[in-house]
Structure 1
Amino acid sequence: MSMNEPRLLTDEQMRQFITEGYLLLQTDFSSEFHQQLLEQLNYVYSHEGNPGNNLLPRVRELQKVIDHPIITGALTSVLGPDYMLHAHHHGHFNNSPQPGGWHKDSYFGYGRIRNHHPWWAMIMYFPQDTPVELGPTGVMPGTQNYATRVFEQDESESEAKASGGAGTFALIAYDIWHRSTANILGKERYMLKFEFMRTQSPTVPSWDHQQPEWVTPAAFSAPIHPHECIWQETWNWMRGEVGSSASAAASQVGEVSSLLEQLNSSSNEERVTAADQLGLLRSNSSADEVVTALAKALEDAYEPVALNAGYALARYGDHGIQALLEGLRHEDRIVSLSAAYGLSVAGAGAVEGLTEALDSEREETVTRAVFALGELRELASDSVPLLIGQLSHPSSNVRISVVEALGNIGQPHDIIVQALARCLKDSDTQVRFMTGLSLAKLGKSAEEAVPSLIEALDDENRYVRAHAAEALYYIGTEKAERALIHFLKIARWCPSTTPASTFYP
């Protein structure tokens, strides 16, 4: 292996990422490199303020961080070799003795349905020695798939903190719950955040993959609810399988009647485990009874139970799919969402019912049906004409979801590209910037959209422009590259120009 070749994650590390939602890793830059980097950050922040999205060009040495083989290897492993460095960067400065609030990062204002599959990830890099007392980022392990904060504020013992020497970084699932922790030393603490997106659906494993079967890690770094059905499906998805829950074989033996009884327990943990175990059993002898019980569990007030019920139902064939389709239309947000996640992994058998749900008068039902179809990718290609019809829907949330789904499905690419090119002129900013990302996923097959992307380079919104530029890069034809180079020449940044040095040195 050459020094610059990406150092891919192992099966064990990937299993930790899937279950816990983060990895702590370490680069091997010299102490002198980090000292110079810290001095430059101190100067920029004290004299110029936070450079925001211009963090990389203003602090040029950071490109060496992004290109480090441990970082490129980690990102390649999770997001595939063609991952995108997103245009949004931010250097977080923390000297507060008070911890920040638990949150998930937004998608630039867009309240999209969050993927359980790793389409997005973040690198949080610490350029200085960061002991716990200096206030490193804290993450709540295993919460990347929860829409609600199901943990208590005072569960500090379960919190994982990204502490370590200079060069430590956290690779985190984009949707994990996290916060800044208390800096009781009061010294400067930087965390440099970079966001990345997968541009291609996985077809083969992109990490150092040796063992095909999912194996649950022997131990977790913090108490985590069991989500074996979710973890197995995510592992299979990253190996290139689509809708693998539909064909999942029973992976363990157990007593159905005792699990059904446990599903009614007053203990959250027991109900979470029972719903998961019933999915793993995939019992044929008592399928009707199990599906009925899981459909009820889909309405559980505790989100981890509802999620496990959704994924378990996806493993029970047409009967389970029908229960999920009923849940999709439920008025409760978490019930409907959990059903959508189940349908998104239920295979080709879910496509017809999801397509029919596009006619619903309820916006949330349509949005979540669109999401599930997009996650089913090529299995949902027959739904494309009806999805394109939804691009005239009055709800921007529906149109945004359709744009993203079309990028994931990809076929038939001619009509998809034509439809997406029109979306670059949508009245809603978020429809336009999601369109650029979807066209980037389509690569060279999106060549017909190049003229529309060139126009989008003049959009009033920074992320519409940035995503149009990314799409041109991934399309990569001669015309696309010429337009991109022209745009970048105009937009180029001089990292040496500051208010105190407008001309020289």
Structure 2
Amino acid sequence: MQTNNYLLTDEQIIQFITQGYLVLHNELPNELHMKVMEEVHHVLMEEGNPGNNILPRVPDIQKFFETPVVKGALTGILGPDYYLHPHRHCHYNQPANQNPGGGQWHKDGYWSAMRSHRPWWAMVFYYTQAVTEELGPTAIMPGSQYNESYPGDDKPFLLPTGPAGTMVLVHFDLWHKASLNTSNMDRYMLKFQFARLNAPSKPDWNHKEELFQLPKGTSDTYLPLWQDIWSWLKGDTREDDDSKRAHLSLLASLVAAEEEGSALHGAYTLAEAGEEGAHELIKILQEGTSLSASRAVYGAIAAGAKAVPGLIGLLGHIDRERRSWACFALGMIGSPAKLVLPALMKALADESDQVRRQAAEAIGLVKEPSAQAIEALANTLIQAVVNEKQDSDSSLWLDQGYITNKIGYGAALSLLRVGKHGEAGVVISALSMALDSGDRYVRAYAFEALTYLRTTEAIDVLLRYYRTARWCPDTNKASMF
């Protein structure tokens, strides 16, 4: 059971919102970290990088994520039922004389149909040994998580350091890169990813201050965005505020600004301007440029229920991208469900694969969706698995190539989040079929969703799957038996 002593503070939550990272230290013995590093080194040298299999290959790693410090931090950012994603990787940074140049600034390839400002995803960088700047830790660019485009070489960056076992918890979209290892030692970093399964209904940290406190000396360019995330993490719903309705046309023009920070400031400020602000955001989504619409969608999410009627109307737009954005926003808002769910269920039959994928994922973001919505998700998952076997050359695979069945992926992820609210037999039937998908992440989500259901039928399916999928961490090319 999580104790309050290890939950995050208001100051730490604000740092994560504004800067996009937290450095964590736990009190596990150095001997354990050294043991893990030796095992990781052996695997890399003798078998190659195990990629997603690093955890079953070196099972002691799991102990690091079970410490109160790490569980408390992940709970504060992602909620108490966060999910350890099946994608993970071992990053091996050799000395500069063997691997000159370092890495390139980037965001990781994302798993949802769109990136989210609100923390539905996060990553942890774990260092097996004491890490110094000379050892080449992963460089991070504080505050860059809301920048879709690269902020520029003139922006400050940070090289997190610390003793063996140091973990850096980062917003999934934070810009980062491998820095140059100028030491004479190899550096190991294990990257793990985590997903939030439910929108917050209350603060999951040691919450004391009601209002967001802007850190001293910090620019207020992103203040409306930060305040929205702060309120969302507390489980607040946005109410009208008539005092903030001035200068709507100026704010609307600001959303079209080339500079990303100014555009997002305009979008989130419009979200605070009541019904009229929501109307302006929907107008931008309907008629604005693709760039301005892509920023307005975040404002529409922040506007909440006031934007829902306009977003539902947007589902009839001729542009599939805008229909897809509307699905994304409706799922993120999630209420009133009596309006949102029928619209998303209808979008599951859209002519565009992109829209259907987004609708499937969006249903999983709605709190306690109806049994009818869950059945629609199950049918979508079944059809997606059938279609992948019939047509492996679909244009659906043109982007996010690491997800080969995108509609099935979205439906399976949603059933992981909300499948328990549907009729168990219907859900289990779809998840059982998904275990035969050609997409490894569809299979992983289906497996995890079945463990959540825990019915006799679900356990029977899991046992059949486990017999062939079980990994032996001691088997390698040098072992005999």
TM-score normalized with structure 2 length:
0.90
Indicate if the aligned counterparts of 2:84 and 2:194 stay in contact, CA closer than 8 A.
yes
Q: Which residue of 2 aligns with 1:170?
A: 168
Q: Distance in 2 between matches of 1:409 and 1:168?
A: 35
Q: What letter matches 1:83 in structure 2?
A: Y
- CA deviation after TM superposition for structure 1 residue 395, in Å: 2.2
1:497–1:457 Cα change, 3 Å: same
| 1:86-97 → structure 2 map (5 Å cutoff) | 86-95=85-94, 96-97=99-100
| 1:353-502 → structure 2 map (5 Å cutoff) | 353-410=310-367, 412-424=369-381, 425-426=383-384, 427=387, 429-446=405-422, 447=424, 448-502=426-480
Q: Distance in 2 between matches of 1:501 and 1:302?
A: 57
Q: Distance in 1 between matches of 2:132 and 2:327?
A: 44
Indicate if the aligned counterparts of 1:348 and 1:380 stay in contact, CA closer than 8 A.
no
- CA deviation after TM superposition for structure 1 residue 380, in Å: 4.6
Q: Distance in 1 between matches of 2:252 and 2:269?
A: 10
Q: Distance in 2 between matches of 1:131 and 1:39?
A: 19
Any idea what SS the aligned residue of 1:103 has? coil
Q: What letter matches 2:452 in structure 1?
A: Y
- CA deviation after TM superposition for structure 1 residue 488, in Å: 2.4
**Which residue among 226, 229, 232 is the counterpart of 2:227?**
232
Q: Which residue of 1 aligns with 2:275?
A: 318
Q: Distance in 2 between matches of 1:39 and 1:69?
A: 25
Indicate if the aligned counterparts of 1:89 and 1:193 stay in contact, CA closer than 8 A.
yes
1:166–1:432 Cα change, 3 Å: same
Q: For structure 1, which segment, 133-142 or 426-435, has the greater mean C-alpha deviation from structure 2 after superposition?
A: 426-435
Q: What letter matches 2:216 in structure 1?
A: A
Q: Distance in 1 between matches of 2:184 and 2:364?
A: 46
Indicate if the aligned counterparts of 2:374 and 2:419 stay in contact, CA closer than 8 A.
no
Q: Which residue of 2 aligns with 1:33?
A: 32
The answer to whether 1:139 aligns with 2:134 is no
Indicate if the aligned counterparts of 1:381 and 1:412 stay in contact, CA closer than 8 A.
no
Any idea what SS the aligned residue of 2:52 has? helix
Q: Distance in 2 between matches of 1:115 and 1:497?
A: 40
Indicate if the aligned counterparts of 1:21 and 1:173 stay in contact, CA closer than 8 A.
yes
Q: What letter matches 1:192 in structure 2?
A: L
Q: Which residue of 2 aligns with 1:179?
A: 177
Indicate if the aligned counterparts of 2:242 and 2:273 stay in contact, CA closer than 8 A.
no
- CA deviation after TM superposition for structure 1 residue 63, in Å: 1.1
- CA deviation after TM superposition for structure 1 residue 443, in Å: 4.3
Q: What letter matches 1:199 in structure 2?
A: L
What do you get for the CA RMSD once the two structures are aligned?
2.0
Any idea what SS the aligned residue of 1:191 has? strand
- CA deviation after TM superposition for structure 1 residue 340, in Å: 0.5
Q: Distance in 1 between matches of 2:154 and 2:213?
A: 31
**Which residue among 199, 208, 211 is the counterpart of 2:209?**
211
The answer to whether 1:102 aligns with 2:84 is no
Any idea what SS the aligned residue of 2:6 has? coil
Q: Distance in 2 between matches of 1:200 and 1:191?
A: 29
- Which runs of no fewer than 5 residues in structure 1 stay unpaired? 251-281
Q: Distance in 2 between matches of 1:423 and 1:162?
A: 43
Indicate if the aligned counterparts of 2:221 and 2:262 stay in contact, CA closer than 8 A.
no
Cα deviation, 1:465-487, whole Å, max 9, x if unaligned, reads 00111211223333223322332
Q: For structure 1, which segment, 178-187 or 124-133, has the greater mean C-alpha deviation from structure 2 after superposition?
A: 178-187
Any idea what SS the aligned residue of 1:91 has? strand
Q: Which residue of 2 aligns with 1:113?
A: 114
Q: Which residue of 1 aligns with 2:153?
A: 153
Any idea what SS the aligned residue of 2:22 has? strand
Q: What letter matches 1:463 in structure 2?
A: Y
Any idea what SS the aligned residue of 2:292 has? helix
Indicate if the aligned counterparts of 1:410 and 1:416 stay in contact, CA closer than 8 A.
no
Q: Which residue of 2 aligns with 1:272?
A: none
Indicate if the aligned counterparts of 2:199 and 2:367 stay in contact, CA closer than 8 A.
no
Any idea what SS the aligned residue of 2:123 has? strand
Q: Which residue of 2 aligns with 1:301?
A: 258
Q: Which residue of 1 aligns with 2:240?
A: 247
Q: Distance in 2 between matches of 1:292 and 1:306?
A: 13
Any idea what SS the aligned residue of 1:434 has? helix
Q: What letter matches 1:153 in structure 2?
A: D
Any idea what SS the aligned residue of 2:302 has? coil
Indicate if the aligned counterparts of 2:122 and 2:171 stay in contact, CA closer than 8 A.
yes
- CA deviation after TM superposition for structure 1 residue 195, in Å: 0.6
Q: Which residue of 1 aligns with 2:309?
A: 352
Q: Which residue of 2 aligns with 1:267?
A: none
Alignment length, in residue pairs?
Answer: 456
Q: What letter matches 2:161 in structure 1?
A: S
Cα deviation, 1:224-268, whole Å, max 9, x if unaligned, reads 6631111111111111123x2x43586xxxxxxxxxxxxxxxxxx
Any idea what SS the aligned residue of 2:365 has? helix
- Which runs of no fewer than 5 residues in structure 2 stay unpaired? 388-395, 397-404
Q: For structure 1, which segment, 66-75 or 48-57, has the greater mean C-alpha deviation from structure 2 after superposition?
A: 66-75
Q: Which residue of 2 aligns with 1:270?
A: none
| Identical amino acids, percent of aligned pairs | 39
- CA deviation after TM superposition for structure 1 residue 79, in Å: 0.7
Any idea what SS the aligned residue of 1:485 has? helix
Cα deviation, 1:417-473, whole Å, max 9, x if unaligned, reads 111101212236011112111111114213231111011111111111001112112
Q: Distance in 1 between matches of 2:46 and 2:368?
A: 51
Indicate if the aligned counterparts of 1:441 and 1:474 stay in contact, CA closer than 8 A.
no
Any idea what SS the aligned residue of 1:124 has? strand
1:37–1:91 Cα change, 3 Å: same
Q: For structure 1, which segment, 13-22 or 92-101, has the greater mean C-alpha deviation from structure 2 after superposition?
A: 92-101
Any idea what SS the aligned residue of 1:480 has? helix
- CA deviation after TM superposition for structure 1 residue 6, in Å: 8.0
Q: Distance in 2 between matches of 1:206 and 1:422?
A: 34
Q: Which residue of 2 aligns with 1:274?
A: none
Indicate if the aligned counterparts of 1:94 and 1:190 stay in contact, CA closer than 8 A.
yes
Q: Distance in 1 between matches of 2:339 and 2:272?
A: 23
Q: Distance in 1 between matches of 2:184 and 2:153?
A: 23
Q: Which residue of 1 aligns with 2:392?
A: none
1:345–1:154 Cα change, 3 Å: closer
